[in-house]
Amino acid sequence: MSGAVDIGYGQLALALGFVVLAGGASLWLKLGLGRDLIVGTLRTVAQLALMGYVLLYIFAINQAWLVLLLFAGMIFFAARIVAGRVKGKGVPVFWPVFLSMLLSYMVVSFLVTGVVVQAQPWWDARYFLPLGGMVVGNSMNAMALSLERLFGEMTNRRDQVELLLSLGADPREATTAINADAIRAGMIPSINSMMGVGLVFIPGMMTGQILAGADPLLAIKYQIVVMLMLVGSTTLGSVVAVSLARRRLFTPAQQLRPGVSGTR
Amino acid sequence: MPQPLPQEAVASAALLRLEEVSWRAPDGRLVLEEVSLSLAPGELAWLRGPSGGGKSSLLRLINRLAEPSGGIITLLGKPLAAWEPPQLRRRVGLLAQSPVMLPGSVEHNLSLAFGFKAAQGQAAPDRAALRGAMDRLGLQGVELGAEAQGLSLGQRQRLALARLLLLSPQVLLLDEPVSALDPESKELVEATAVAQAGEGRAVLMVSHQPPPQASAMRRLILEQGHLREEGA
């Protein structure tokens, strides 16, 4: 079924020329990025090679538990990346992030493969993993943006939150506006990309399908599904992650945690 | 108009009691050390002390925005931990040192506390009541529709006090409410504190200003974490 021209190992090595070009620029302009370029290149090759062989194996045996385990593994690493990016002032967010990703990405991926695409069975590795992978990869940025905004605003607007608490608001009431800002921050990029798709960029999945010889009209249908599912998954992920994380900003006595409220 | 206090407040000898309360800041510094204090309904206490001496921290503990590291605080004989935090905070009203306004109109800022779950059963004040609350604090020149964050510091200070008084708390914790006021407004706010005590509330007021001569009140000093009666 593959219509794409095969790339030989020699030709693949030619692509290294791009990295040599970047390395040259780093040396010439004293950017200090040489080491990162080498590590990045090695990791790209190794991680993708590993992924390729894992997919070969999983496609071959196509077992539900294995597909779902791999999906959970992808989410685990995504949650680690997001939790590392959000320096939550001493408030750990790994578990809220992991749980909200698992819940929302699982629901969206199931709806896409099982209900929209109607793959048989719904967890068929050839559909579920690439589509689910796109949900994870694109939505994790949304979640990081939402949580960064949540923690940033909690610090900036700490006085407003404490005012509302002191007037008898519960933590949810005291953070209504911040909650909305944080969720909005996560949703806006996926809405913006709906505006630009097909005009200012051809998305990666569509590119891949066209290279593989698929009918562009079929590729477009898949791409529409992907764009819409990303709006759903970023919304669901941001809403769940922000509501789980904002609970952790307060003590059971409905006080801002010291790390969030600063020292007084 | 301020609502009359419930009978339980009037009947209790000590409305608010602090027993050997200590507080350690998150950085480990001991800010308050075994502070004891008892306030009866109708009592007005004037609290002063050097900056950084723990006055604001003391008020935050009583409003339960922070938790003591030792000792116990009771309201109406019941430990603070036994109260639902929103209900407690409406009874023990805190006026913070810097008057915080949310984006929106003066009217929105005055009535926002009546939209919370904890306000269920409590009727929101109408525009006439809001106007009256402002006028009593010398804010006749401020429109209800004005942007609250655009007011001067002195106006915001009085607006924050009006917002708090609308809740009719049983205990009033006022953290330097006159620091940015002209002499006339300062007298008005001080007279309000005295009048609130006269209506049966316990009032604890932090101020660097000397207290008004005429009124009977307790004078407290908080220095290096220790609280004592002035002259004692």
DSSP assignment string, A29-54? TT---HHHHHHHHHHHHHHHHHHHHH
Q: Are B147 and B105 in contact (CB under 8 A)?
A: yes
Mean pLDDT of chain A: 89
Single out the residue of A80, A91, A128 nearest to residue A229, CA to CA.
A128
Task: Give me the pLDDT at residue B232, please.
Answer: 62
Is the confidence at residue A21, as pLDDT, over 50? Answer: yes
Partner residues linked to B44 by β-bridges: B203
Is the confidence at residue B9, as pLDDT, over 50? Answer: no
Is A253 close to B85, i.e. CB distance below 8 A? yes
The phi and psi torsions of A46 (rounded to 5 degrees) equal -70, -45
Single out the residue of A178, A188, A194 nearest to residue A243, CA to CA.
A178
Alpha-carbon distance A55 to A238, whole Å? 29
Task: Give me the pLDDT at residue A209, please.
Answer: 87
For tokens 């020329």, name the residue. Answer: A17
In this prediction, residue B10 has a pLDDT band, given cuts at 50, 70 and 90, of: very low
What is B7-100+169-229's CATH topology? Answer: Rossmann fold (3.40.50)
Task: Give me the pLDDT at residue B11, please.
Answer: 46
DSSP A250: B
Residue A103 is which amino acid? L
Is A159 close to B100, i.e. CB distance below 8 A? yes
Task: Give me the pLDDT at residue A197, please.
Answer: 85
Alpha-carbon distance A12 to B217, whole Å? 87
Task: Give me the pLDDT at residue A148, please.
Answer: 92
The reply to whether A156 touches chain B by the CB within 8 Å rule is no
CA distances from B117 to A69, A171, A172, B106, B127 (A): 43, 11, 10, 21, 21
Q: Which of A188-202, A249-263, B122-136 has the lowest mean pLDDT?
A: A249-263
Per DSSP, the three-state class of B75 is: strand
For tokens 């006055």, name the residue. Answer: B55
Residues in chain A closer than 8 A to B124 (CB atoms): none
Alpha-carbon distance A262 to A248, whole Å? 15
The pLDDT > 90 percentage for chain A reads: 56
> Any residues with CB less than 8 A from the CB of A191 and at least 6 apart, and which?
A231
Mean pLDDT of A114-126: 90
DSSP assignment string, B19-61? EEEEEE-TTS-EEEEEEEEEE-TT-EEEEE--TTSSHHHHHHH
Is the bond into B85 cis (omega within 30 degrees of 0)? no
Residues in chain B closer than 8 A to A257 (CB atoms): none
For tokens 């798709």, name the residue. Answer: A197
For helices A64-85 and A125-156, the axis angle rounded to 10 degrees is: 20
Per DSSP, the three-state class of A4 is: coil
For tokens 């009546």, name the residue. Answer: B114
DSSP B105: B
Is the confidence at residue B16, as pLDDT, over 50? Answer: yes
Q: Which strands make up the sheet holding B78-79, listed edge to edge?
A: B30-39, B16-24, B70-75, B78-79
Mean pLDDT of A228-239: 91
pLDDT digits (tens, 9 = 90+) for A59-97: 998 899 999 999 999 999 999 989 888 865 567 889 889
Q: Which string of b and e fits B70-85 if b means at least 16 CB within 10 Å?
A: ebebbbbeeebeebeb
Alpha-carbon distance A191 to B190, whole Å? 54
Is the confidence at residue A264, as pLDDT, over 50? Answer: no
Is the confidence at residue B104, as pLDDT, over 90? Answer: yes
In this prediction, residue B6 has a pLDDT band, given cuts at 50, 70 and 90, of: low
Task: Give me the pLDDT at residue B216, please.
Answer: 75
For tokens 């706010």, name the residue. Answer: B189
The reply to whether A168 touches chain B by the CB within 8 Å rule is yes
CA distances from B206 to A32, B18, B59, B94, B216 (A): 56, 17, 9, 11, 16
Q: Which of A196-200, B83-87, B95-99, B154-158 has the lowest mean pLDDT?
A: A196-200
Is B64 close to A253, i.e. CB distance below 8 A? yes
The reply to whether B116 touches chain A by the CB within 8 Å rule is yes
Q: Are B219 and B43 in contact (CB under 8 A)?
A: no
Mean pLDDT of A204-214: 86
Domain ranges of chain B: 7-100+169-229
The phi and psi torsions of B53 (rounded to 5 degrees) equal -85, -5
Is A167 close to B98, i.e. CB distance below 8 A? no
Task: Give me the pLDDT at residue A1, please.
Answer: 45
The reply to whether A176 touches chain B by the CB within 8 Å rule is no
Per DSSP, the three-state class of A178 is: helix
Separation of CA B94 from chain center: 4
pLDDT digits (tens, 9 = 90+) for B107-122: 999 999 999 999 987 8
